[in-house]
Structure 1
Amino acid sequence: MIDKFKQRETMKKVFKLEDEKKHPDRVIEAIKHEVRKYIKREKKKTLPEGVDFWKFECKSAIDDEEVKEIDFLEITKAIDEASIKKAKTLYLEIIATNGYKEKKENNEETETE
């Protein structure tokens, strides 16, 4: 039996954006690759019964700023923003949660002629 209260998989990580041995662009690409790899791995997991898709809740913080929620589609923008600001660290948190499609209500009102 599947435990309904099982802890969800999360990625909580502080990435260092400065590495003496690597070019800054290569560090950014490595971070993006790691994030994409995590998301791909999570999407492959079987969905619990009644769940339509995996939904990802994301949070981000640059250096010592306050953690703020971001949209799933803005992850790469957050990484690029940290690079542009020449930040030293980037905190990313990605939580895979259950996603449900919105059910469309059938309007019984039809066009009257």
Structure 2
Amino acid sequence: MKKVFKLEDGKRHPDRIIEAIKHEVRKYIKREKRKVLPQGVDFWKFECKSSINDEEPKSIEFLDITKVIDEAAINKAQTLYLEIVATNGYKQKEEDLED
């Protein structure tokens, strides 16, 4: 998912726009997690980037997506760019953890 969200709309309240963005992101993540894993892959890992008002996109943690959306609302940004890409995730072996 690579998308630019407009945070200002004359017809809707800003809080409703933020909730709609969060809903769309959650729906996308659920849809990606339902996909069948390729052979040998343990889980879906999400690589995320975001930027506010046409800045250079920065890498963010998957768990910080909603925080970034809330920050954009607090800063009264006009646009928010979100990039969420599902990649293959692998669990670390116990042998690697001991070293």
Instruction: Give the number of the structure whose alpha-carbon radius of gyration is greater.
Output: 1
What do the CA deviations read for 1:73-92 (whole angstroms, capped 9, x no partner)? 00000000000000000000
TM-score where L is the length of structure 2: 0.95
Name the structure with the higher helix share: 2
What do the CA deviations read for 1:6-33 (whole angstroms, capped 9, x no partner)? xxxxx00000000111000000000000
Runs (5+) with no aligned partner, structure 1: 1-10, 107-113
Q: Distance in 2 between matches of 1:70 and 1:46?
A: 25
Q: Does 1:84 align with 2:74?
A: yes
Q: Which aligned pairs between 1:36-51 and structure 2 lie closer than 5 A?
A: 36-51=26-41
Runs (5+) with no aligned partner, structure 2: none
Identity among equivalent pairs (%): 79
Q: Does 1:57 align with 2:83?
A: no
Matching residue of 1:19 = 9
- 2:20 maps to a residue whose letter is A
Number of residues of Structure 1 aligned to a counterpart in Structure 2: 96
Q: Distance in 2 between matches of 1:67 and 1:47?
A: 28
Structure 1 segments, 4+ long, off by >4 Å, are: none
Q: CA deviation at 1:65?
A: 1.5
What do the CA deviations read for 1:54-77 (whole angstroms, capped 9, x no partner)? 000000000022110000000000
